[in-house]
Amino acid sequence: MTALPTAPVPGAILEAALYAPDLDAAEAFYGGLLGLPRLMRAGDRHVFYRVGATILLIFNPAATAEPPAEDALPVPPHGARGPGHVCFAATEAEITAIRTRLVAAAVEIDSDFHWPNGARSLYVRDPAGNSVEFAEPRLWAS
C-alpha cells in the first residue's frame, strides 16, 4: 500500500450550506428575523449570508442539482434532500434575546436546554424544516 502524502489539517469552515425550496421564506428568516447580512441572491437558485468569518449558503435544492451552464463557473451539481442543521455561536444572554425575538415572531421552539457541561442550546426550525441551533461555544470546549 502506498503511503499518502501529508497535508495540512483544515483550520476552519469557510462556508456551510442549507437547502430551502422557498428562498423568499429563507430570506425572511435568515435576513429578516435573524438579521444576517445578505451578500447576494441569484434569482431562485441561491442566497448567501455572512456569519462572522463564515458564509452561510442557502440553495434551492432543485436548482443547485442542475449542471452549470456552458458559460458559468464549473461548480458541479450538489445538494441534499431533507432537513439539514446549522449551529450559530451565541452567548447565554444572546440566546435569551434570540429566543424572545423568535417567540415574538411565532417561531416554535423545538428545544432549549443546558448540556451536561453547562452550555446552553436553543433549537428551532427554519421555514424549510432545517434544524437551526444557537449554542454557547463552550459546548465544544475541551
In whole angstroms, what is the distance from residue 25 CA to residue 58 CA? 11
pLDDT at 20: 95
pLDDT at 67: 83
Pairing verdict, β 85-89 and 54-59: unpaired
In whole angstroms, what is the distance from residue 59 CA to residue 101 CA? 25
> What are residue 111's DSSP bridge partners?
123
Ordered mean pLDDT values, 10 residues apiece, the chain (142 residues): 83 92 97 97 95 95 86 83 92 95 96 96 96 95 80
Superfamily of domain 15-67+81-140: 2,3-Dihydroxybiphenyl 1,2-Dioxygenase, domain 1 (3.10.180.10)
pLDDT at 73: 80
111's CB contacts (< 8 A; 6+ apart) are 121, 122, 123
Q: Which three cell numbers stand for residue 110?
A: 423545538
